[in-house]
């Protein structure tokens, strides 16, 4: 009796039924897992007490951070070294993409090969 019960899931049709059940469970759970990011909160203020200095700093810093910009670092490289024209080009590109008070000036590397 026990042997017959234990061999039931390994039968010809039963193994396909088990597979179909697993798929039926996995598809909705995967769809719901994508929505988990909408409700989770992973910043420091979620884990620290509300009166902690770190929490207060995070809250103050959020006032100054723009959510519609992405920081970028652009590297210009020339094996023979960066020329004045290259620095001028880098500065012009930085001016064109600069948002007020956000962008840093172009700077050559110590070896003079990158800007």
> CB within 8 A of 58, min separation 6: which ones?
43, 44, 45
pLDDT > 90 in the chain, percent = 7
In the structure, what pLDDT confidence band is assigned to residue 106 with cuts at 50, 70 and 90? low
Percent of the chain at pLDDT above 70? 83
Q: Where are the alpha helices (DSSP H) in the chain?
A: 2-7, 14-33, 36-39, 44-47, 53-62, 84-97
Which tens digit of pLDDT belongs to each residue from 62-103?
Answer: 777 777 767 677 888 888 888 888 888 888 888 887 665 555
* C-alpha triplet 77, 81, 83: angle, nearest 5°: 95
């Amino acid at each position: 009796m026990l042997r017959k019960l234990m061999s039931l899931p390994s039968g010809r049709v039963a193994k396909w039924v088990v597979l179909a059940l697993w798929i039926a469970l996995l598809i909705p759970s995967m769809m719901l897992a994508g929505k988990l990011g909408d409700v989770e909160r992973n910043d420091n203020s979620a884990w620290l007490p509300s009166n902690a200095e770190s929490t207060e700093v995070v809250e103050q810093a959020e006032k100054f951070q723009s959510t519609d910009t992405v920081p970028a670092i652009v590297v210009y490289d020339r094996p023979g070294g960066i020329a004045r024209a290259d620095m001028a080009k880098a500065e012009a590109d930085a001016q064109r993409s600069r948002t007020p008070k956000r962008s840093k000036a172009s700077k050559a590397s110590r070896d003079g090969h990158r800007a």
